[in-house]
Structure 1
């Protein structure tokens, strides 16, 4: 039988006792592996939340000087760790389109892409390259796709897949190599 869940706002002391109680119950069952896994889970969550709270404090300390016209709120919403914490708890104030835009902006220098559509039902985001970036090589397109997907996982996890369009961009001409002719058996004495 599990302990009753307190619906009041959590406080540190009560939460600490609750976590210790659960860990003690798991340890009391004689399953050392499960008890150690539970302790590791608690440590991982504490590390995650601690890093997020630390980031919030650092971003607030920076103030409006580094956050642009929107101040510390924009800095918080633009931070991957803070955004993921807000999303995890359904606290993020921006809609999907705004968060996708933030994700794309976070990688725009290395991988300039623009959104051409988003299907909310399927979670499919359609993008195309914008501006001049890369050589058009498959490896460049793959790197862009990976960067987009990583940014979206923090800012817009409801995006389930990304489809990159060619965008009708001009492809670079084939590289023409001009060099001296290689020696041949017929041309040498």
Structure 2
């Protein structure tokens, strides 16, 4: 089983870098002059069109025979879904794909006490409404932005913009939807990046582990099937949380996931954006964990990594 997983991971890496390899080969063909480059590009187009025509026939047969379950399963495979999108053959419409993408980030939004609602998609513009509140660090606006924007763009690359529908003015001390997504219209303005951390998959239920991600020390924990990641620093004593474990608070309900600082013994609720239980003004700095390109990844704000 381990061998199969490693083999699958290697295959995934091969096709994900195929575009770069093709571009490199096209650049190399330029050494033979303009005509050689044009012929190489035409060859690529012919091959792409050929495979596209084949995929179109496969999808047509599945639809004609009513194999919708197979179509849905194909749509969940990253490689197949990406090829179907390239050729305009994806079985799900853009709104369905956007809804699925938002469902994938909803657990993280929920850990911040918030949620996202799809208003609709019109003229390649996705209209969203952020609900609830965000009660974490200032960097959370960047990480939320990365999570929502990247999920939507990956599922529906034909969309060109995201518009956030305004909510009533947020109470003092909360981050409004407008400020949360103020930079979502430009990729260059997103101050952060996703870093693949496949080792996160090794964490078992109830386990806590430390990781170095993008120059930043991260503390990650698994509660049931959910993974949570935080900057490895206790806001109470400013020390590393290395050695911390998850426990149930005195009188707490089953399923409690409380992290106790091994130095100052401060307590934080892992599943509620790292909210401080001893001092409500203190909280851990959360970072989103999502599956990006088939690999567990953490979004690290540039400012945090630089610090």
TM-score (norm 2): 0.31
Q: Determine which structure has more spread, i.e. the larger CA radius of gyration.
A: 1
Which structure has greater helix proportion? 1
Which structure has greater strand proportion? 2
